[in-house]
A = this chain, B = another copy of it.
Amino acid sequence: MFKKILVANRGEIALRVMRTCREMGIETVAVFSEVDRSAPHVLFADEAYLIGAAPSSESYLKYDKILDVAKSSACDAIHPGYGFLSENTDFAKLVTAAGIVFIGPPAEAIKTMGDKTMARQSMLQTEVPVVPGTEDPIEDISKARSVAEKIGFPVLIKAAGGGGGKGMRIVNSAEEFEDAVGKAQRESQSAFGDGRVYIEKYLEEPHHIEFQILADQFGNIIHLNERECSIQRRYQKVIEESPSPFIDEALREKMGEAAVETARSCNYVGAGTVEFLVDKYKNFYFLEMNTRLQVEHPVTEMITGTDLVAEQILIAAGEPLTLKQDDVKTTGHAVECRIYAEDAAHDFAPSTGQIVLLQIPDGAGTRFDGAIRQGMEITPYYDPMLGKLICWSKDRNSALNRCERALREFYIGGIETTIQFCRSVIRHPAFREGSYDTHFYSLHKEELLAELASSSDEVLLVAGGTLFQHTEQQKHRAHHDSSKQSSKSKWLDSRAERNHR
């Protein structure tokens, strides 16, 4: 087994990975940028090395520097987390060439699946259905526009070089097309260092459903059921759950098999996620495969009782899977709420500043994967996700009740967060009934935001009374201070006067 692992990431996922390393008796090495000197992942790790300035292009994406740290600190493996270098073929190759284990799939599989257009081409060779769209990244804008017109608007523009909703745009008409492509290209370039984008048919009333897979080095591949990820805003997931209220056992089996086939088609090794779109008639289409740990992986961990990071490490160390497909049993229901430093009321604009007060929920079936602490400064340099609240219970209804309870307990003061927004979604009747698709947010945006802005008479009275008292106390204190001040200067004056006499 590995003795020391470098975690080439920051934030909640770095902490998540290090926790499992420590549980497995493996030492951890953190890398950090100048603004992250006292970030939680630095404090948690056994060793920590400065790798550059705040912008990720000068630190967390600097793979030569990270590799140097791994070598000089005698790491036997590197875990890339998600984002940053996790789907970078060159990095995976360099790491492997240096005799260090890359905890992730072979570079070849990253190349095939990490590149969304190549993945589509590859999947067209299999039995797995694929969403109609361009096979190559956009080069000629007018040619691309005619492809889009042939597929029929609306179409989606998506980054070829990465996922997570970054560099993604929905285009409703030919007029918007060129502008949207430009924006998507710039965003992709900034997020993944790769500006290539491609076009995909925009399915109506679609569900975003993904399957977690595990593949060892001996060709054993299993799936750990689905995650329903249709609650999105800004094309980014915000709430995920498993099981999906939309999927029945027969469909689960078919899609699970397709996910395993997808992994097999690219000789996949490690933990990965196969994303599908499912339309209202329960037709499903391969969307993409994420060749890394997924943000929402805890949802699967909680219903299957697995530790996916531990599985990744064991697989990378050459252990065969201990679980067979028939051993995968799920219990209960899990829901994840992503807590972003964003202002839901202002189109989810990022919010930065100091966390002046922090209360994290806890108790039965309540897990928070985060990397925040009271007094910490949230900088504008990185992803605005502060952490994820995951709640488990024996069935969907009680899991949602638990989630609502935990969100009410959750308090982050000093910055705007999506805590309240998540609560509004969890309380929404359509979500409660489990009848929702990826249009949930745009369909119910008005109601959700109205709920955020409204207050009961009781809350207004409480807030008003407290503000009154708070203001009075501050006035009192200010008056007290100034009277001390004035008595002091009086004393000085009288002293001066006395001296004059």
Contacts and interface: CB of A to CB of B under 8 A. Distances in A.
Interface of A: 15-16, 19-20, 22-25, 44, 298, 301, 305-307, 310, 331-332, 359-360, 362-370, 373-374, 393-394, 398, 401-402, 404-405, 408-409, 495-496, 499-500
Contacts of A310: 398
B362 A367 contact: yes
Copies of this protein, total: 2
Contact of A398 (B23, B362, B373, B408): B23
Given A15-B363, A363-B369, 10 more contacts: A16-B364, A19-B363, A19-B364, A23-B402, A44-B409, A307-B364, A307-B365, A362-B370, A374-B374, A499-B499
Contacts of A298: 364
A293 to B, nearest CB: 13
9 contacts: A20-B364, A23-B404, A23-B405, A307-B364, A359-B373, A362-B368, A362-B370, A366-B367, A499-B500
Contacts of A374: 374
Contacts of A398: 23, 307, 310
Contacts of A500: 499
Contacts of A365: 307
Contacts of A496: 495, 499
Given A307-B364, A360-B360, A22 B405 contact: yes
A331 B331 CA distance: 9
A25 B500 CA distance: 76
A401 B25 contact: yes
Contacts of A16: 363-364
Contacts of A495: 496
Most B CB atoms within 10 A — which of A331, A362, A370, A404? A362
A306 B249 CA distance: 24
Nearest to A322: B394
A401 B19 CA distance: 10
A305 B393 CA distance: 7
A475 to B, nearest CB: 23
Nearest to A12: B363
A355 to B, nearest CB: 13
Contact of A405 (B19, B367, B409): B19
A393 B24 contact: no
Nearest to A310: B398
A370 B409 CA distance: 13
A394 B304 CA distance: 10
Contacts of A44: 409
A365 B307 CA distance: 9
Contacts of A366: 367
Contacts of A306: 394
A408 B22 contact: yes
Contacts of A370: 362
A383 B367 CA distance: 27
A492 to B, nearest CB: 8
A22 B364 CA distance: 13
